[in-house]
Structure formats: C-alpha cells, structure tokens
Structure 1
Amino acid sequence: MAEMLSFMAMPFLACIVLLGIHSYFGLHVLKREIIFIDIAMAQVAALGGLLALLAGRAHEGTWAHWLALGMTATAAALFTAAKNSGQRVPQEAVIGVVYAVAATGSILLAVRMPGGGEHLHEALDGSILWTDWSVVRHSTLVYAIVGAFHWVFRKKFIMLSFDLPGARAAGMRIRLWDFLFYFSLGWVLVHSVEIGGVLLVFAILVLPASISSLLAERLGMRILIGWSVGAASCALALFLSWKLDLPSGPAVICVLGAVLLLTGVARKLAAAR
C-alpha cells in the first residue's frame, strides 16, 4: 500500500490540478453547447507540439510551448468569428473541421518523424503516470493566473455563457469576451495536454461538469460537486490502474464515464418514483 501511495501520489496530484480548472470551464462549455471545442483545441495544441518535434525542437521546450499557444490563439479567433458570423456555417461545424484537420495533420506529421507513432500515442493518451513535479508546478501557476482572471471578470464570463441575451442588452463587447474565453481555455489546454493527453483532458473537462449538472442547479455547487466527484473518481481509477495493471489515463476516463452513467440512471429512477 505504501508503495502504491508513493508511486501514485504525483499522478493523483496532477489529476487534482487538472480538475481544479477544467471542472469550471466544463460548465461553461456545456452551457454554450460547444462540447467538442475542448478536444478540438487540445488537438491543435498537440499538433503544435508535433510540429516542434518535426522541426527538431524539444517537445517540452519554450519554442514548442509558444508555437502551441499561437496555434490555439488562432483557433480561438476562428471560433469567435464562427460564433458571430450569422450562423451561415454553425460554430459546431467549424469546431469539427478544426479537430479533423488538426488530427489528420498530426497523423501526417507523425509519419514523417522517427518514433512518430509513439509521439502521436502520447499526444492522445498522455503520460500522466510519469508526470513530474516541475510540469505540474508550472501548469498550476498558469491555471492560477487563468482562474484569477476569470474570477475578477466572473460576472462577464457567467453572463456571456449563461445569459447571452442579457449580455447583449448590457452592451458587452461579445466578440472580445468570447475571444478571451476561448484563448484562456486554449492556454490552459496547452499545458493540460502535456500532462494528460487529448482524451483525458477532454474527459476531465466534460464528465465532472456533466455529473454535477445532473445533481445541482447553482453554479457554485456544481463546481464543488465536480471537484469532489472528479477527485474520488480519479482516486478509484488510479487504484484500479495499480491493482489491475491498466493504463492510468484510460482508467480515469472509464471510471468518470461509469460514474456519469450511474448518476444519470439514478436520477431517472428517482424521478420515476
């Protein structure tokens, strides 16, 4: 038991750090009904990392970071324009196209580099089991900056996601604040993909928020439930990963998915009584 706790302490801490900011963003994403924006932007960030590798730069280096951030900023601008384009092309369609292009671009880059398949697998599944403290510490700092920014301007971001007609009536600069939302999400994802990979980051953003939305109405309570259920699910998943010799990232995704399914079933049964 002591060996397991020692080995799994850093992966669990990484999960907690990811949950802290992603549970919040997930509620906004659900309300905006742009579920796949996370996986699209995460894939764009991963594409930036692969481009850096192809150019001979370190995957975790400063050059790779700024390239990935620049690409997510471009995606943020594109999503902002798509939302305010009069809906000739739905924003969800643009999100899907960006994901498809980024994913296939990653495949094309992977076949051009030695060990490309391994790098592509890492971009998708991550390496949360081998995350070190320096990466977690730096990501925590970025998440704290983004979290503080959203706290200071929480009324604007909440109104933009939960009361768009009210935001328009109040004279908010919708395009500007939409871009700031997407860009701040993208900045978070650049660091998150490095820790957990595209699939785990998508799951941690969407699943705890979905579970909490089934259980509570108030935003603050949803965030607390998302943190609590997410932390418990991650702890169980890492325990099962250790005991059954399973990959940690997929284990976390499956446990969170199972909890969402059970929560939905329990809610339906309770409503039927």
Structure 2
Amino acid sequence: MIEFLTAPWDFAFWQRAFLVAAMSGVVCGVIGSHVVLRGMAFIGDAVSHAVFPGVAVAFVFGFDLVVGGAVAGVITAVLVAVLAQNRRLKEDSVIGILFAAAFGLGIVILSTAPGYSGSLESFLFGSILGISDQDVTNVAVIGALLLLVAVLLHKHLVAATLDRELARSVGLPVFALDIALYVMVTLAIVISLQAVGNILVLALLITPAGTARLLTDRLGVMMVLAPIIGGVSCLVGLYLSYAFDLAAGGLIVLVVTGVFVLAWFFAPKHGLVARMRARQAQLV
C-alpha cells in the first residue's frame, strides 16, 4: 500500500500532475461554493465554453491556449454581468445567448485552420500528465490570488447573494461584485482545464460545493469542506488513473461524483436516509 502511494511521486510528471490537480480542486471548491449558493451553475458551463473562441484564436495565431481562453472567458463574463443588469432579461437567458454565440464563433474560427482537432484534444479532455513546470507555477500563482480575493470579498459576495436589494441599500457595489465573481469563476475554470478539460471542468467547479451543501447548514463549514472534497477527489482520481491506466480527467470527475452520491444518500441531515427516518418519526 505504501509503495502504491509513493511510487507515482518518483516521476516528475506525476509530481506536477498531483500538485496541479490538488490546487485546481481546492480553488474550484472555494469559488464553486459561491456559484452554488447563488444557484448559477449554468455560468460555469457557459464560461467553460466561452473560452473556446479565445483558444481557437490562440491556436490559429500560435499563442498560448490558456491565455487565449482566459481572455475570452473574462470578456464573456463581464458581458454577462453588464447585460444581466437589464431586468427584462434574466441572468440565465443572457448566459445562454452569450454561451451559444461564443461557441459558434470558436467553431467558425477553427474552421479556418485545418488539422486542429489533435492539437485541441488536451483542451477538451485535459492533459494533466503533460503539464510543465511553468504550468504548475501559473496555477499556483493564479490559484493563490483567487483564494486571497475570495477571502477578502467573502462577506460582500455572501451579502450580495442572500439579498441583492439589501446589499445595494447598505452601499455594497453589487454590480462590481458580480463582475468579480464572474472573473473568479473564469480564472478557476481556466487553471483547471489541464486537469479535467473543457468538457468536464463544470463538475470540478460545482460538484464539491454541491456535496458540501448537503453535508452542512453552516456556510463557513461548507467553504472548508468543498475545497477538501475537490482536492482529495482530484488526488484519488489521479491515483486510480495511475493504477488502471485510464483517463485522469474522467476518473477525477467520477470520484467527485461518487462522493456526491454518497452524500445524497447518507448526509447526516439532508441525505435520503436521514430524511426517510425523519418522516417515519413524524408518522409515529
């Protein structure tokens, strides 16, 4: 058992993979908690696809794919925040419109570059075993900054989530907080792309936070549980990938989903078993 746990660390590429996976899981757990509290899981899906045109442009012109995706994602996130200020349109409608437009633009751009599918495979499905030392540094720096901002804005973000009108009345800059949260979501997604890929990144952002939401009623505890669940799930998924030679990104998502299913059944207060027992007690 000890040998199984230590063997992957003998290889530099596995060391980098474990570090990036753990950092991605932790950051997504923290940022995802705010996303789940606001009931805006769709923004994670939209932003993860909105980075597509930026990646396409970066590929066509030979730039860094992650940088291109980050720029496109931030632009889209800001547009969502701006357009959602019109009360005639709900936030999910604006997200849907921009998501479809961004993805369509990405497809058009890529159609001008033959032979792109293989080069973008890592973007779509993740390439955690191909991460470089520079990638580790980038994820560490961006992740640390995101966690710092999340801590500094925590109370204001929660206030804007629970009661936007009250937050406005006490002078909180709700619009600026919206933009800040959208940008944080975008950057959390971008640093996680190499771990699980564009297609599966929503699971890493939402599922740990959703699991923590089932396990506790206390916001502070949720903010601690979500990154722990995300980070540990990433590490377990990587170990399973090492043991069975299967896709790391897919296994990470399956592990974190498995933890969610267990919580859905067995959470002490909000799990299916606990709720059934409570109903039986009421009947008696």
TM-score range, shorter chain: 0.7 to 0.9
Cα displacement string for residues 148-177 of structure 1 (whole angstroms, at most 9, x for unaligned residues): 223223221221123323312212222122
Cα displacement string for residues 223-259 of structure 1 (whole angstroms, at most 9, x for unaligned residues): 2212222233223222221222211001111121122
The answer to whether 1:125 aligns with 2:122 is no
User: One-letter code of the match for 1:81?
Assistant: V
Return the alpha-carbon distance in structure 2 between the equivalents of residues 272 and 260 of structure 1: 18
Query: Which structure has the greater CA radius of gyration?
Result: 2
CA contact (8 A) 2:26 2:230 kept: no
Question: What TM-score does the superposition give when structure 2 sets the normalisation length?
Answer: 0.85
Match of residue 64 from structure 2: 59
Using the TM superposition, give the Cα deviation of residue 137 of structure 1 relative to its aligned residue in structure 2, in angstroms: 1.3
Return the alpha-carbon distance in structure 2 between the equivalents of residues 104 and 261 of structure 1: 34
Match of residue 280 from structure 2: none
Computed over aligned residues only, the root mean square deviation of the Cα atoms, in angstroms, reads 2.2
Using the TM superposition, give the Cα deviation of residue 52 of structure 1 relative to its aligned residue in structure 2, in angstroms: 1.3
5+ long unaligned stretches in structure 1: none
Return the alpha-carbon distance in structure 1 between the equivalents of residues 254 and 116 of structure 2: 26
CA contact (8 A) 1:126 1:197 kept: yes
Return the alpha-carbon distance in structure 2 between the equivalents of residues 260 and 5 of structure 1: 28
Match of residue 76 from structure 2: 75
Using the TM superposition, give the Cα deviation of residue 207 of structure 1 relative to its aligned residue in structure 2, in angstroms: 0.6
Cα displacement string for residues 70-119 of structure 1 (whole angstroms, at most 9, x for unaligned residues): 42232122211233211x22211221232223333333333432431123
Match of residue 43 from structure 1: 49
5+ long unaligned stretches in structure 2: 278-284
* Alpha-carbon spacing, 1:177–1:107, altered in 2? closer, same or farther (3 Å): same
Return the alpha-carbon distance in structure 2 between the equivalents of residues 245 and 44 of structure 1: 31
Return the alpha-carbon distance in structure 1 between the equivalents of residues 101 and 120 of structure 2: 15
Using the TM superposition, give the Cα deviation of residue 194 of structure 1 relative to its aligned residue in structure 2, in angstroms: 4.6
The answer to whether 1:181 aligns with 2:170 is no
* Alpha-carbon spacing, 1:146–1:234, altered in 2? closer, same or farther (3 Å): closer
Return the alpha-carbon distance in structure 1 between the equivalents of residues 155 and 236 of structure 2: 35
1:74-223 matched pairs, under 5 angstroms: 74-86=75-87, 88-223=88-223
CA contact (8 A) 1:192 1:201 kept: yes
Return the alpha-carbon distance in structure 1 between the equivalents of residues 184 and 233 of structure 2: 26
Identity fraction in percent: 25
Alignment size in residue pairs: 267
Using the TM superposition, give the Cα deviation of residue 135 of structure 1 relative to its aligned residue in structure 2, in angstroms: 0.6
